[in-house]
């Protein structure tokens, strides 16, 4: 069955995240049937800085660069197998599902996490086998002074709700420089 890919659509969903979808057109006999595989190729999510969420930034009088940067900015490139997170370390620790107070001192201010996703592939959200998909992650965490290795998992789960089904991406990243430092952060994907 020949397939003609129409192209990619850029869909701004909400104010702070976006992702790319592919739509394919399949020919069967002389009739064109529209099949809509929902391919998740890239995903971007951002949480802007708020003085309410980060009172420590304003109390300590840090420079305005920190205040103008988002608390969290994440970019998943599933097609090319790349994950990039830029975030305030304190926010990452507090946003983590299970965290310990001692982790706050492990890194200073902002961190940059750069990791590879294995294997690199577009994910069809209409495929029921993708529910519960787990992909390994390997990379590093940098805070300007320290560069440390990290590894972990990325899980993709379908959430069925009465109003609309959606997906959840969960990252489990372990900072290998420290014992028991696992960041567990979730990101919503609405389709």
In a domain, 185, yes or no: yes
**What pLDDT, on a 0 to 100 scale, did the predictor assign at position 96?**
81
| Count, residues in the chain | 191
Closest CA to 112 of 82, 136, 138, 147: 147
Instruction: List, for the chain, all residue ranges whose pLDDT scores fall below the cut of 50.
Output: 1-29, 34-35, 56-64
Q: Domain limits at 83?
A: 42-190
**What pLDDT, on a 0 to 100 scale, did the predictor assign at position 55?**
53
- Phi and psi torsions of 38, nearest 5°: -95, 90
Q: From CA 118, how far away is CA 100, in angstroms rounded?
A: 29
In a domain, 55, yes or no: yes
In a domain, 29, yes or no: no
Rounded percentage of the chain residues whose pLDDT exceeds 90:
34
**What pLDDT, on a 0 to 100 scale, did the predictor assign at position 18?**
45
In a domain, 22, yes or no: no
Q: Is the pTM of this model over 0.85?
A: no
Q: Which ranges of the chain does DSSP label H, i.e. alpha helix?
A: 55-59, 64-68, 89-95
* DSSP code of residue 115: E
In a domain, 25, yes or no: no
Contact 178, 146 (CB under 8 A): no
Closest CA to 113 of 85, 143, 147, 152: 85
In a domain, 150, yes or no: yes
How many structural domains does the chain have?
A: 1
In a domain, 126, yes or no: yes
Contact 73, 49 (CB under 8 A): no
Query: Between the CA of residue 119 and those of 50, 127, 139, 141, 165, what are the distances in Å?
Result: 36, 17, 14, 21, 26
**What pLDDT, on a 0 to 100 scale, did the predictor assign at position 23?**
41
Q: Return all residues near 13 (Cβ < 8 A) that are at least 6 apart.
A: 19, 190
In a domain, 7, yes or no: no
The neighbouring-strand residues paired with 73 are 46, 86
């Amino acid at each position: 069955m020949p397939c003609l890919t129409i192209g990619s659509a850029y869909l701004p969903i909400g104010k702070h995240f976006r992702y790319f979808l592919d739509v394919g057109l399949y020919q069967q006999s002389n009739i064109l049937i529209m099949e809509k595989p929902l391919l998740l190729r890239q995903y971007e999510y951002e949480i802007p800085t708020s003085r309410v969420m980060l009172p420590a930034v304003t109390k300590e009088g840090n420079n305005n660069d920190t205040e103008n940067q988002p608390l969290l900015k994440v970019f998943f490139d599933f097609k090319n197998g790349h994950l990039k997170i830029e975030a305030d370390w304190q926010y990452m620790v507090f946003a983590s599902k299970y965290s310990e107070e001692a982790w706050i001192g492990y890194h200073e201010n902002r961190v940059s996490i750069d990791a590879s996703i294995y294997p690199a592939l577009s994910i069809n959200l209409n495929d029921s086998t993708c529910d519960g998909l787990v992909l390994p992650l390997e990379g590093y965490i940098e805070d300007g002074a320290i560069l440390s290795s990290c590894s972990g998992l990325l899980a993709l789960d379908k959430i069925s709700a009465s109003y609309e089904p959606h997906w959840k991406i969960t990252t489990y990243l372990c900072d290998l420089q420290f014992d028991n430092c696992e960041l567990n952060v979730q990101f919503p994907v609405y389709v």
